[in-house]
Amino acid sequence: MLAFLIKRIGLLIPTFIGVTLISFFFIRLLPGDPVIALAGERGLSPERYAELMRNFGFDRPLYIQYLQYLWEVMQGNFGRSIATKQPVLREFWALFPATIELSVVAMIFAAGLGIPAGVFAAVKRGSWFDQSIMGAALVGYSMPIFWWGLLLIILFSGILQWTPVSGRISLMYFFPPVTGFMLIDSLLSGQSGAFRSALSHLILPVIVLGTIPLAVIARQTRSAMLEVLSEDYVRTARAKGLASFRVIGIHALRNALIPVVTTIGLQMGVLLAGAILTETIFSWPGIGKWLVDSVFKRDYPVVQGGLLLVAVVIMVVNLIVDLLYGLINPRVRAR
Amino acid sequence: MKTLKTLLAATALTLSLGSAASAKTLVYCSEGSPEGFDPGLYTAGTTFDASSKPVYNRLVEFERGTTNVVPGLAESWEVSEDGLVYTFHLRKGVKFQTTDFFTPTRDFNADDVIFSFDRQGNKENKFFAYAGDVTWGYYNDMSMPSLVKSFEKVDDNTVKMTLTTPNAPMIANLAMDFASIMSKEYADKLLADGTPEKLNQQPLGTGPFTFVGYQQDAVIRYKAFDQYWGGKQPIDDLVFAITQDAAVRLQKLKAGECQVASYPNPADIPALKSDDTLNVLEQPGLNVGYLAYNTTQAPFDKPEVRRALNMAINKQAILEAVYPGIGQIAKNPIPPTMWSYNDAVKDDTYDPDAAKKMLDEAGVKDLKMKVWAMPVARPYNPNARRMAELIQADFAKVGVGVEIVTYDWTQYLKLAGDPKHDGAVLAGWTGDNGDPDNFLAILLGCDGVGSGNKAAWCNKDYDALIKKASTISDQAERAKLYEQAQVIFKDQAPWATVAHSLVSLPMLKSVQNYKMDPLGSHRFDGVDITE
């Protein structure tokens, strides 16, 4: 297990270097630059433009800028946003917990509903239940997030008034962030009703963000289950007279989960992408919108630093998924 | 409404720290996050709404709802005869806000004024580079480094500003957000603590509202400053609920989660107006949308060609398609609400036949040109692509072939500012300080070629008029010169002036005494709410 772990972690180093390269050069390939974006309609005289480019160090050769950036990153310095003049790391940590909270709860929602739905659909293959679940999954997968979010807001917040329109917690609760995770902070605050308010603010964004992963997980679980259910060992288990619940729940599902866990790991990346739109609709103060805005503003330090930090998180999640394989399937460990 | 009432009651309980339960809270759904809280560092209106407007004051202020400059922290001022020396007499007994993070020990005085400007222009000042590679946007954009020779303290309540050359718009400049007055005592304390960056995170000023807290991209909280020199505000608490999507802001407004919502979608405005629970305030924006010909490029270097093309544009059709119910046709480069607007100027008549004839006479045949369309919606032009298509169709009728080009926004800004660009660009402007110089010099003056002057138009007569106007302090006299400048502009036609847009602001009927700001900001001083 230790050798497996070391090998996996060793693989992260070239990936890390690769991400710094891509995030650094990708944003510079786009036309325009942060100084022009900062000036807006007013424009800049060529002299002032040159002066500002020099101040920011953008006039130096790219490879020197890159090496400088890499050196700073190694020391934990991600630079300052050009637009807001705030340290990138400070902004990231202020926003990232919100994205993680939303993504994790959305994933729990997606897996919690998707896996049972997929299992039932497989077991009842061809039934009306199977067909309606798979039909709903197809619709869910094809749903434009922006439209879906607004639809839910208009229905549940506007017409029925069951849920709040947007934000993370009602404005009546006001406490300093401790962990940055609203569900935890609201409990820590000791203010009665705060946790409920935080939870109610999560409902719609979680549904919107979780819809696509839910559909993917349900379909993936169904097909993995179908494959496993036709295996000989399942037939043997049944022939032994094991209860149907044990055959499906333990013998079949455990093996069927391997590709599903992979899917869940990959869907975390999809969630972070979906978070950009979801965060915009629900005024959710996360990193999705922050990154997109900084691309438009050509805010180099934010784009390269933000992307790198997100990539590190995804790499860590993937590492955990790999390790989980080992737990679910001993063959992976042995290899 | 039920939500709102619960919210108001509960906010009162949690926020007002012991004040009566009748505390009034106004929640404003704002369109974006402030970049920071030091207004000198930034140029975005969203940032000023959250920093300079509630927390700070300036030596002079824009009167609420107008662009008139009235006394602020300076009670009065005199200008020397040569227009070079301004002496400001400061208001006495003005308190800085007391917050959780700082308790001031002295009143506002001349040191605060000197510090507020010195830090933006003096590289030796400890706060010059406190936020990294600082550009001090407006301080430079308004040419303060070259215009101002010195700020001097005469005594605790008198400050002398000496200019290098007479400059009439200077007083309006000093009412702008970048000229907000900070507490030197607070800044010194931050420096001593080794945390100068807090000046940009925890603002403290003399303004109507005290900053309470900011949760990034989510909520900003203020409470009324009870020792405000202008008197305590009618509301007790002010909350900005940051809501980026316009459709969601609308839903929040309807659900009573906020009482005022910024920037509605133009398409939603008719429905908002018919809603009984809402008031929709409207005002002509201090802006202009236009098509700038590259006047250095043939055949656009000939005024008669530019005039002919202007006559080929059906502005009424553009207004209906691009600004439905939210705009008015522009004939001058400045909007009609601005002083010195020359209403006697006659707009180009829409006459494709005459335009074609004029083009023939000018020897223009089979002209192919580029029209640039911005890729983004701007306050002065909600749909540049559509506008470009309409112009394309109009020009086709007079035998001019148009290729519409567009670029990513930052690239667009860069290329359109370059005098070597090809064809005509759609562009626009929103005023900074209500002074005509802020339009006529930046957008059309010879000094603006290569930056703000997208037409690369440099007309000696025009330029002499606006330069002279900027050195005279008598407004009536200045107005005459600007009126003449507009006549030259119309005759020379470096642009096709297209439209001025209307700005709308929906709010619940319980919001009282809100006044729309012609400069586009959102101010809550003087605003009240009823049950």
DSSP string, B65-129: TS--EEESSEEEEEE-TTS-EEEEEEPSSPPPPP-SS----S---HHHHHHHHHHHH-TTSTTTT
Under DSSP, the state recorded for B183 is: P
Residues B86 and B160 sit within 8 Å (Cβ to Cβ): yes
Q: How far apart are CA B107 and CA B93, in angstroms?
A: 6
> Looking at chain A, which residue has its C-alpha nearest residue B258?
A171
* Chain A closest-CA separation from residue B455 CA (Å): 13
Alpha carbon of A216: minimum distance to chain B alpha carbons (Å): 28
Residue B522 and residue B307 in contact, taking contact as beta carbons nearer than 8 Å: no
In a structure prediction context, what are the per-residue pLDDT tens digits for chain A, which is 335 residues long?
Answer: 678 778 888 888 898 899 999 989 988 888 888 888 888 888 888 888 888 888 888 999 999 999 999 999 988 889 889 888 889 999 999 999 999 999 999 999 999 999 999 999 998 888 998 999 899 989 988 888 889 999 999 999 988 989 999 989 998 888 888 898 999 999 999 888 999 999 999 999 999 999 999 999 999 999 999 998 888 888 888 888 888 888 888 888 888 888 888 888 788 778 877 888 899 889 899 998 888 888 888 999 999 999 898 888 888 877 887 777 777 776 665 54
Residue B17: pLDDT over 50: no
List of chain A residues whose C-beta atoms are within 8 Å of the C-beta of residue B408 = 30-32
Contact B145/A at CB under 8 A: no
Which chain A residues contact residue B137 at CB under 8 A? 38
* Eight-class DSSP state of A251: I
pTM value > 0.90 = no
Is the CB of B11 less than 8 angstroms away from the CB of A84? no
Whether residue B31 is predicted with pLDDT greater than 70 in this model: the reply is: yes
Provide, as residue numbers in chain B, all residues whose Cβ is less than 8 Å from the Cβ of A83.
Answer: 35
> Which of A32, A157, A174 comes nearest B411 by C-beta?
A32
CA distance, residue B167 to nearest chain A CA (Å): 20
Q: Report the distance separating Cα A194 and Cα A201, nearest Å.
A: 11
Distance of CA B488 to the CA centre of its chain: 26
Name every chain B residue with its beta carbon within 8 A of the beta carbon of A95.
Answer: 216-217
Q: How many CB pairs under 8 A join A and B?
A: 160
Q: Which of A153, A152, A204, A279 is nearest to B254 (CA)?
A: A153
Peptide bond into B506 cis (omega under 30): no
How far B351 CA lies from chain A's nearest CA (Å)?
31
Do A290 and B137 lie within an 8 Å CB cutoff?
A: no
Q: B67-83 burial by CB neighbour count: b if 16+ within 10 A, else e? A: bebeebbbeebebeeeb
Q: Which of residues 438-477 of B touch A (CB under 8 A)?
A: 442, 448, 450-452, 454
CA distance B470 to B315: 32
pLDDT at B140 over 90: no
Q: What is the DSSP letter of A134?
A: H
- Kindly list the residues from chain A whose CB atom is less than 8 angstroms away from the CB atom of residue B245: 280-281, 283
Nearest Cβ partner of B134 from A85, A172, A281?
A85
The pLDDT > 70 percentage for chain B reads: 95
In chain A, what residues touch B14 (CB-CB under 8 Å)?
172-174, 191
B165–chain A Cβ distance below 8 A for any pair: no
Residue of B158, B171, B175, B244 whose CA lies nearest to B474: B171
- Which residue carries 């567009």 as its tokens? B406
Question: Backbone dihedral region of B61: left (phi > 0), alpha (psi from -120 to 50 degrees) or beta?
Answer: beta
- Asked whether the beta carbons of B382 and B321 are under 8 A apart, the reply is no
Please state, in angstroms and rounded to a whole number, the distance separating the CA atoms of residues B456 and B443: 9
Distance separating alpha carbons of residues A94 and A97, to the nearest angstrom: 7
Residue B268 DSSP symbol: G
Residue B161: predicted pLDDT: 97
Kindly report the nearest CA distance between residue B47 and chain A, in angstroms: 10
- Nearest Cα residue in chain A from B416: A43
* Banded model confidence at residue B292, pLDDT cuts 50, 70, 90: very high
Do B239 and B11 touch, CB atoms closer than 8 A?
yes
pLDDT of A210 reads: 93
A41 and B427 in contact by Cβ < 8 A? yes
pLDDT at B359 over 70: yes
Determine the Cα–Cα distance for residues B508 and B258; give it in Å rounded to an integer: 8
Closest A-chain CA to B239: A171
Residue B255: its chain A contacts at CB < 8 A?
Answer: 157-158, 161, 164-165
- Cβ B410–A177 below 8 Å, yes or no? no
Distance from CA of B14 to the nearest CA of A (A): 7
The Cα–Cα gap between B357 and B311 comes to 11
Say yes or no for a CB contact (<8 Å) between B451 and A281.
Answer: no
Q: Which of A44, A56, A281 sits opposite B133 (nearest CB)?
A: A56
Q: With bands split at pLDDT 50, 70 and 90, how would you rate the model's confidence at B9?
A: very low
Q: What is the mean pLDDT of residues B492-509?
A: 95
Quick one: DSSP state of residue A249? I
> Bridge partners of B213?
B221
Fill in the DSSP letter of residue B449: B
Chain A nearest CA to B363, separation (Å): 34
Beta strands B237-242; B25-30: pairing state? parallel
Q: Which residues pair with B65 in a beta bridge?
A: none
Whether residue B252 and residue A37 make contact (CB cut-off 8 A), yes or no, is no
Tell me whether residues B450 and A43 touch, CB distance under 8 A. Answer: yes
Please tell me which of the candidates B408, B409, B451 has its beta carbon nearest to residue A44.
B451
Quick: pLDDT tens for B211-245.
999 998 899 999 999 999 999 999 999 999 999 88
The chain-wide mean pLDDT, for chain B, equals 92
Contact B43 A40 (CB under 8 A): yes
By CB atoms closer than 10 A (0-12, 13-18, 19+), residue B515 is middle
CA distances for A183 relative to A282, B137, B399, angstroms: 17, 40, 65
On whether any CB of chain A is under 8 Å from the CB of B289, the answer is no
Cross-chain Cβ contact A43/B413 below 8 Å: yes
* Contact state of B409 with A44 under an 8 Å Cβ cutoff: no
Report the residue of chain A nearest B376, measured CA to CA. A296
Which has the closest alpha carbon to B524: B201, B48, B4, B1? Answer: B48
Half-sphere exposure of A265 (CA within 13 A, CB side): 18
Out of A31, A80, A285, the one facing B216 most closely (by C-beta) is: A285
Beta-carbon neighbour count of residue B217 at 10 Å? 24
B117 burial via Cβ count (<10 Å: 0-12, 13-18, 19+): buried
Nearest CB neighbour to B216, from listed A91, A172, A281: A91
Q: Chain B: give the shortest CA distance to residue A89, in Å.
A: 13
Give the other-Cβ count within 10 Å of B170's Cβ.
Answer: 21
State whether residue B375 sits within 8 Å of chain A by CB.
no
| Ordered DSSP codes for B269-283 | HHHHHT-TTEEEEEE
Task: Quote the tokens at residue B284.
Answer: 């002509």
The CA distance from B494 to B459, in Å, is 10
Output phi, psi for B345, to 5 deg: -65, 135
Strands B278-284 and B327-329, how do they pair?
A: unpaired
Chain B residues in contact with A48 by the CB 8 A cut-off are: 140, 451
Q: Considering only residues 378 to 407 of chain B, which have any Cβ-Cβ distance to chain A shorter than 8 Å?
A: 378, 407
Take residue A331 and report the two structure tokens written for it. 């063959």
Nearest-CB residue to A95 (from B41, B216, B257) = B216
- The predicted pLDDT at position A332 comes to 63
| E strand intervals along B166-286 | 209-215, 219-224, 237-242, 260-261, 278-284
Look at phi and psi of residue B256 and say left if phi exceeds 0, alpha if psi is from -120 to 50, else beta: left
Q: In angstroms, what separates the C-alpha of A165 from chain B's closest C-alpha?
A: 6
d(CA A335, CA B439): 72
The shortest C-alpha distance from A37 to chain B (Å) reads 5
Mean local confidence (pLDDT), B32-47: 91
Q: What is the pLDDT of residue B12?
A: 41
Centroid of chain to Cα B227: 29
pLDDT reported for residue B244: 87
Mean pLDDT of all residues in B25-50: 93
pLDDT of B524 reads 97
Q: How far is A91 from chain B (nearest CA, A)?
A: 8
Amino acid making up residue A262: T
pLDDT of residue A331: 66
The label of the residue with tokens 């605790």 reads: B156
Residue of B nearest to A161 (CA): B255
Interface contact flag, A283 B244, Cβ < 8 Å: yes
Residue A65 Cα, gap to closest chain B Cα (Å): 16
